Amino acid sequence: MAKVRQAVYDILKGGFLVDEGAAKNWSMLVFLAGLALVMIASSHSIDKKVQKIAVLNKEMRELRSEFVSTRSDLMKVKMESAIIRKLGEEGLYVSENPPQKIVVKN
């Protein structure tokens, strides 16, 4: 039990960083610190991408709504009754006689 207590005390004191095998310990600590930095940078990058995706999804919903509204307006304008009404304002009316086919003979 005393050995375990002494080992924990050495770790907390930092004795493993200054004894004769410290080069191995320092290289491992630098490696772990590098991994931690890479992990933090990756996390920030993912957060930015998630926020950008949320903004793009919101913009997509708005554009889809605008598309549906515009398509609905177009369907109303293309209706025959709307065209007849607009042409009536211009003084043009629908012919009561059907069109006749003109055949040209050489």
Residue range 21-48, pLDDT digits in tens: 777 778 888 999 999 999 999 999 999 9
Rounded to whole angstroms, the Cα distance separating 88 from 80 reads 12
Q: Where are the domains of the chain?
A: 2-90
Rounded to whole angstroms, the Cα distance separating 14 from 60 reads 55
Look up the pTM and report it: 0.56
Residue range 56-106, pLDDT digits in tens: 999 999 999 999 999 999 999 889 888 888 888 888 888 888 888 999 998
Encoded amino acid at 7, one letter: A
